[in-house]
Each structure stands twice: as structure tokens, then as C-alpha cells.
Amino acid sequence: MGTVRADLVRADHLTPAEVSEVLALTRAAGDSDGAYPLSEHVMLHLRHGGDVPAVHLLARDGDQLVGYAHVDTTDAVEGASAELCVHPLFRRRGLGRALVMAAIGAADEHDPAHRLRLWAHGDHPSANALALSLGFERARVLWQMRRSLFAPVPAPELPPGVVLRPFRPGADEAAWLDLNARAFADHPDQGRWRAADLRIRLSEGWFDPDGFLLAERPAEGKLLGFHWTKVHGAIRHDHGDGSHDHDPIGEVYVLGVDPAAHGLGLGTALTLAGLRHLRDVGLDQVMLYVDESNPTAIALYQKLGFARWSTDVCFRRPGGRNQVAGDGSLSP
């Protein structure tokens, strides 16, 4: 196929109409690939972005949006990150490569070390080929794991003096943020959540406080752990184009335990309690994401019946400018 003569436009903010175009594009890519091309983090920026700093790269063929890249330049520790997609009918024509090169340029403006992390959801061969041809290295791998809820879900066994209760909006935010920071002190993303990050998620249409389970020792008034579940596709939300077109599925959204409470079996108990909640609301399957470099968590989930389903890969551009060679599309 020949190269598409697309116009590549850069913007610091998107209009509501442009957000709708991007969501339609990503839905077409996801339907074709079997893996959604943008992470929740980017989707939240798109839907609630406001003044959140980001660089948006839009590739158009005439009036049609055929490619999009989101570049987040706000992480001074890890460097910029980018995610992108190309319309299935316009692939293998150089658009993926052009978007990556534009993302590199945007990242370079904010980082003298010339770093960039590039996420590829689904670990498609063409994404791997393009990233490696541009000098990126595979740096992090996330597994999506799934489990049937028709299989038995044992009753959770809680330590003495510990009870489970739902999250209370307006009362538990500060205590939960403190617990989350302790539980994910070494996590590259989760442990740095602030009040605004939590508030955005609590305002999402899928949020259900009954599915946000807290493990508490009431005698001390202390939170020890939590299991925040999520339901995808149970209600058809309209976010420009954002209705779900798949059967409902639950998610182990975030599971955390205070390091001081390790060894009490809370991780297993919280997981089982969340699975039972998702089963009780009528779901028949559940998913989760776990870092490939976390064998302890993987072993726990495998013990509880989860199996690997798909893979997301983060490619990292080392400090220094890269040699450019080859061609391809980040979304195959």
C-alpha cells in the first residue's frame, strides 16, 4: 500500500467534537484488534481533560480522522508517555511511524534526556517491529488475566478483628489515599494518586461504592486493605461515542494491602470478596491487570483461578536520540 498523504495536526486541547472523533476511531481500532488501543488513564484525560496538560496529535485524510496519538509530558520522573492508534483501513501506509516520530518530537521539547515510553496494547507483532526499529526497548509487560465466575468462589476468611465494608464517598477519601500510597509505594503509577485522581474516578458512571470494599480494623479505626472492583459494559454510557459493545465483564480494578498487614491473608480474602460481589451483581467473568515482573501477585491470581488472556507492552526510548529505520504501524 502507498503512503497516505494525511495532514498531521497538533493540539494542546481537543474540542468536544474532536473527542468524539477520537473515541470513534479508537472503537474502530479496538473492534478490529480485539484490544482497546488506549488505556483508562488516557480515556479519562479525553473525557475529563479540562486543563490536564497533554499533546494531541491528529492525522486526517481529508475530513476523516485516521490516526491519533496522546502524549503525556507531565511525569518528570519517568519521562513522557504516548499511546496511539491508526484506523484499520489506513494501516501499513506510514501513519503509525509518523505519529511516533511526532510524539518523539513533542517529548523532546519537555525532556532534555529525550525519553519516551510508548504503550502498545495487545503486543501485536507490527507494534513490536515499529518500536524496535525506532530504537525503543521493551521495558514493562502487563498481563490481562481472566477467570470465570461460574467456577466456585470460596468464602473469604478475614483475620480476627477485621471487617469488610463499602467505601463511603465524602468520608473515606483521605484515609484511602494514605493507604493507597503505602500499599503502592514502589508502583510506577498507582502510588502517586492524589485527591483529584480519585475524584475523577468516583465521578465515572461505572463507580459503585458497594463494589469498593475496604478491610478495616474498627477497634483501631484503621484501614488495612481494599479491593476496588469495576464493571465494564453493564450500562451503556454515552461519552461522545463511548457506549460499550461487549458483554458485561467485571474487573479487579485495584487491590491493595498495607505493608504492615502483609502475612494476614488479606490479599486472598479481599480478592474473593470482590469476586463474590461481581458474581452477585450478575456477571459471569472477571478480568485484571498485573505486572509480569510481580510473580507473587501472579501466583495469587493463578491460585484463585485466573489465567493469562492478553498482554500490553511498554517500550522505552533510552536517553539520547534514536536512529530511525524501517516502517510499520503501531496498531497493526
145: left (phi over 0), alpha (psi -120 to 50) or beta: beta
What was the pLDDT predicted at 246? 54
What was the pLDDT predicted at 254? 94
Same-domain pairing of 129 and 201: no
What was the pLDDT predicted at 240? 41
Query: What pLDDT tens digit does each residue of the chain (332 aa) get?
Result: 455 556 889 988 899 999 999 999 999 998 888 788 888 878 888 877 655 678 999 999 999 999 999 999 887 778 899 999 999 999 988 999 999 999 999 999 988 888 999 999 888 888 889 999 999 999 999 999 999 999 999 999 999 999 999 999 999 999 999 999 999 988 767 888 899 889 989 998 889 999 999 999 999 999 999 999 999 875 444 434 444 445 799 999 999 999 999 999 999 999 999 999 999 999 999 999 999 988 988 998 999 999 999 899 999 987 644 433 333 233 33
Three-state secondary-structure class, residue 301: helix
Number of other CB atoms surrounding residue 140 within 10 Å: 15
Same-domain pairing of 108 and 160: no
Same-domain pairing of 130 and 178: no
Residue 68 counted as domain residue: yes
Counting the structural domains of the chain, the total is 2
Strand order in the sheet with 137-148: 7-11, 55-61, 64-72, 80-86, 116-121, 307-317, 137-148, 285-291, 249-257, 222-232, 212-217, 163-166
* CA 122 vs CA 15, 28, 133, 143, 326: distances in Å: 29, 15, 18, 10, 21
Residue 182 counted as domain residue: yes
All cell numbers assigned to 133? 526499529
165: left (phi over 0), alpha (psi -120 to 50) or beta: beta
Domain range enclosing 75: 7-142+313-317
Question: Residue 21 is which amino acid?
Answer: E
Same-domain pairing of 99 and 199: no
Place of cell 483475620: 159
What was the pLDDT predicted at 245? 47
Number of other CB atoms surrounding residue 275 within 10 Å: 25
Same-domain pairing of 128 and 156: no
Q: Number of C-alpha atoms within 13 angstroms, CB side, residue 13?
A: 7
Same-domain pairing of 15 and 134: yes
Same-domain pairing of 159 and 234: yes
* CA 284 vs CA 90, 151, 158, 187, 267: distances in Å: 36, 9, 25, 30, 22
Same-domain pairing of 191 and 85: no
Please report, for the domain that includes residue 196, its CATH number: 3.40.630.30
Residue 305 counted as domain residue: no
Residue 95 counted as domain residue: yes
Gyration radius of the chain over CA positions = 21
What was the pLDDT predicted at 113? 86
Same-domain pairing of 122 and 227: no
**Those residues with Cβ within 8 angstroms of residue 314's Cβ, 6 or more apart along the chain or in another chain:** 81, 117, 118, 119, 120, 138, 139, 140, 141, 142
Question: How far is 189 from 117, CA to CA, in rounded Å?
Answer: 13
Same-domain pairing of 134 and 156: no
Same-domain pairing of 118 and 234: no
Residue 174 counted as domain residue: yes
Question: How far is 322 from 324, CA to CA, in rounded Å?
Answer: 6
Same-domain pairing of 123 and 194: no
